[in-house]
Amino acid sequence: MVINTRRLPVWGETLIGSGFSEGPGGKGSNQAVAAARLGGDVCFVGCIGEDRCGDDAVRMLENENVDITYLKRTDEAKTGVGFIFLNGHGENSIIIDPGANLKLMPNDPSIPLSIDKADIVLVQLENSIQTIEETVRIANEKGKTVILNPAPAQEISSLLRYVTILTPNESELKILAGLEPSKSVSHEECIEIAKGLLQKGPEAIVVTLGDQGALIVNANGHEFVSSPKVTPKDTTGAGDSFNGALAVALSEKKTIKEAAQWACYVGAYTVMGAEVIPSLPTRKQLEAFIDSKETTLQA
């Protein structure tokens, strides 16, 4: 649920916003659709409520050719929701209520069954941390590539030994390092923080840097990949589209640098549209976008 506002209200204050819209979302759902539209064979595991929002989610995922064999429904909680506050620069602040997401239990049989079918397991933090830890543990045990998008950011030290690639944005990276997200850090400091996280288990840290691209840190050192310049309309879902694209690219045997570069193009394409799902590119749309940007650079 999105509303435009010049600024966030302080406690006790009411502001008038504009442009309210409502549509399907959720980090895992967004990532699943992003990957499916780019040609990925995607199975989505989660839990939603027996309510209108849950019905909408089922309909949307089926329309996007996402396998929902292991999508559970419950009458014990409502489908998770997110409240998105969007300013005139396309920047957002988000508050979520996970709702039924937290009803996906660590011992749910859908978790190992779905992992068996996968090459890459992509997880985020809108489910319970216990369920996520069990998921990445099983995936690691089965030799799968595990991508963890640590959002919403929280304590995840116990998970990192099972993770192949960690994909925080700059704010999440700071939170993982115990810093205030508002604290300004240089790219050099980001590199040092990422190196520290590498010591806890991941093979690579890919830090998304918005319009500045992404930073890759692994045992070979570090390198930056750039993002094409666009005029953002709504940055909601940029990270989700990046992660979905990264998973697809890695499944197609691209290198980590190639995958991150490709994912930057997907993120840039996504922020040019309003709302997340309508803005996610198909493979054909993405290829045309990349061609147009490369032609501009050559000119």
88 annotated as ligand-binding: no
Phi, psi values for residue 11, rounded to 5°:
-55, 135
107 annotated as ligand-binding: no
40 annotated as ligand-binding: no
CA–CA gap between residue 125 and residue 117 (Å, rounded): 22
Active site amino acids = 240
Count of other CB atoms within 10 angstroms of residue 187: 14
273 annotated as ligand-binding: yes
DSSP state of 10: P
39 annotated as ligand-binding: no
126 annotated as ligand-binding: yes
> Is beta strand 214-218 parallel, antiparallel or unpaired with respect to 221-225?
antiparallel
51 annotated as ligand-binding: no
30 annotated as ligand-binding: yes
CA–CA gap between residue 160 and residue 168 (Å, rounded): 13
- Cα 191–Cα 156–Cα 29 angle in degrees, nearest 5: 95
Helix-, strand-, coil-residue percentages of the chain, each rounded to 5? 40, 20, 40
220 annotated as ligand-binding: no
Binding site per annotation, positions for ATP: 169, 208-213, 239-240
Binding site per annotation, positions for substrate: 26-30, 126, 240
Binding site per annotation, positions for K(+): 234, 236, 270, 273, 279
Binding site per annotation, positions: 26-30, 126, 169, 208-213, 234, 236, 239-240, 270, 273, 279
